[in-house]
Amino acid sequence: MQNGDAVTGTWDDMRIFLAVARSESLSAAGRLLRMDPATVGRRIARLEHSLGAPLFAKSPQGYAMSEAGARLLRHAEEAEQAMQAATEAVAGGAGGLSGQIRIGAPDGCANFLLPQVCAAIADENPELEVQIVALPRVVNLSKREADMAIAVSAPTAGRLSVQKVTDYRLHLAASAEYLEQHPPIRNLADLKGHRIVGYIADMVFDKELDYLSDLGVTRHALASNSVAVQFHWLRQGAGLGIVHDFALPAAPGLRRVLSDEISLTRSFYLVRHADDRRLERMNRFAAALADGLRRETARLEGLT
């Protein structure tokens, strides 16, 4: 780079660089920035010219960071953290939370826990905008798909902060109508005569979601990568499947089956960017989110 590798771009240049680095395309970066893709391209070209090095290599797959871009990334992220900290300092940390915070979560948590938890946080912080991204896969925090994420297992790679939030329980369940119309289920062997609802095998994104393979159940006649779809199948009497206990109050017609033989415990983890722990605003929101999830999980499980 020119000028002894000095970064001569402004924060606005860094913001545009980060958007392209994370989204890997000008059009996606433009949507994030609410900017025309052609303008994004010109700003990247101007930054590359000022630094004297290409930051991206264009390919049919999109914009991949060059070696120089990869070196710049860490500095740009540090600048982003500094700007966020400066904004918090000016706004004052003692008042209500404000701005936008995006949470990524598996759709079981996103459908049955986060709506009421986040609504309660928003009630106490009228200037806060909370977004929930429900994804049937691991949320990529390094690409800033979300500011923080709920996970069902603790990640071991990346510069992340991981906090266990709470355990939760799951059981085999079916609708009362289904159980009345099909042969009785007295033991695990009886499951062979019933239709099983579960995950699409090659789309199980975390081993903690592979609920029934240890019991010898490998075929799911009805399968989806979405917990919500599975839940609605069960509620409509389509078969038997594993259900979160915290979801059962949403479907009073569902009944646990073989609850002594099939009782699972899993955990939720709150995953954040390691550097975000320096931001009081994010710390306060994370504390409220974790506390709300613990309370709401216990409340709903207590109703089953």
Task: Report the pLDDT value the prediction gives residue 4, as an integer from 0 to 100.
Answer: 38
CATH of the domain at 183: 3.40.190.10
Same structural domain, 145 and 173:
no
Task: Burial-class residue 89 by CB neighbours within 10 Å (0-12, 13-18, 19+).
Answer: exposed
The domain of 247 spans 167-266
Cα-only R_g, the chain: 23
CATH of the domain at 20: 1.10.10.10
The answer, as to whether pTM is greater than 0.75, is no
Quote the strand ranges of the chain, DSSP E: 56-59, 62-65, 99-105, 128-134, 148-151, 160-175, 196-198, 222-223, 240-244, 254-256, 263-273
The tokens 């903690």 sit on which residue?
208
Task: Report the pLDDT value the prediction gives residue 263, as an integer from 0 to 100.
Answer: 94
Report the run of H or E that residue 105 belongs to, with start and end: strand 99-105
| Residue closest to 240 by CA, chosen among 272, 293, 203, 195 | 195
Task: Report the pLDDT value the prediction gives residue 256, as an integer from 0 to 100.
Answer: 97
Q: Which residues in the chain come in under a pLDDT of 50?
A: 1-8
For the chain, the domain total comes to 3
Task: Report the pLDDT value the prediction gives residue 155, as an integer from 0 to 100.
Answer: 87
Task: Report the pLDDT value the prediction gives residue 281, as an integer from 0 to 100.
Answer: 85
Same structural domain, 241 and 287:
no
Token reading at 190: 């009886």
The tokens 């010109």 sit on which residue?
42
Same structural domain, 154 and 271:
yes
Same structural domain, 176 and 261:
yes
Task: Report the pLDDT value the prediction gives residue 3, as an integer from 0 to 100.
Answer: 42
